[in-house]
Amino acid sequence: DAGITQSPRHKVTETGTPVTLRCHQTENHRYMYWYRQDPGHGLRLIHYSYGVKDTDKGEVSDGYSVSRSKTEDFLLTLESATSSQTSVYFCAIRAGYSSYEQYFGPGTRLTVT
């Protein structure tokens, strides 16, 4: 257990509304990641963070923004949700400087109607 929680676990929202997903970790890991998972696409990286206020884009960052004001929290925001952003969102942490192992949270299922 890597001490990662995600909230909410499920959310239904309407097109055009803003949505923020939260990832919280308790073990002071420097690197945090947001992925989305869709059938046929596996896991795709949205954004990642390598420290407080240090973030960078991943493969599918359009329409998403992130913030990390504290080590333990990494927030993913959909400024104006679209139906194409209906997905399962996973947060992950990287285990340490010398390890590329990532450990995942339980996921958030987001439905945009």
Partner 1 sequence: GQQLNQSPQSMFIQEGEDVSMNCTSSSIFNTWLWYKQEPGEGPVLLIALYKAGELTSNGRLTAQFGITRKDSFLNISASIPSDVGIYFCAGQLGSNYQLIWGAGTKLIIKP
Q: Rank residues 8 and 15 by Cβ distance to partner 1 and give the closer one.
A: 8
Q: How far is the CB of 30 from partner 1 (least distance, A)?
A: 10
Question: Environment class of residue 21 by beta-carbon count within 10 Å: exposed (0-12), middle (13-18) or buried (19+)?
Answer: buried
Cβ at position 80, least distance to partner 1 in Å? 26
Q: Which amino acid is at 61?
A: S
Smallest separation (angstroms) from partner 1 to the CB of 19: 19
* Sign, Cα dihedral of 105, 95, 59, 34: positive
Residues in touch with partner 1 (CB under 8 A): 31, 33, 40-45, 48, 50, 58-59, 90, 92, 94, 99-107
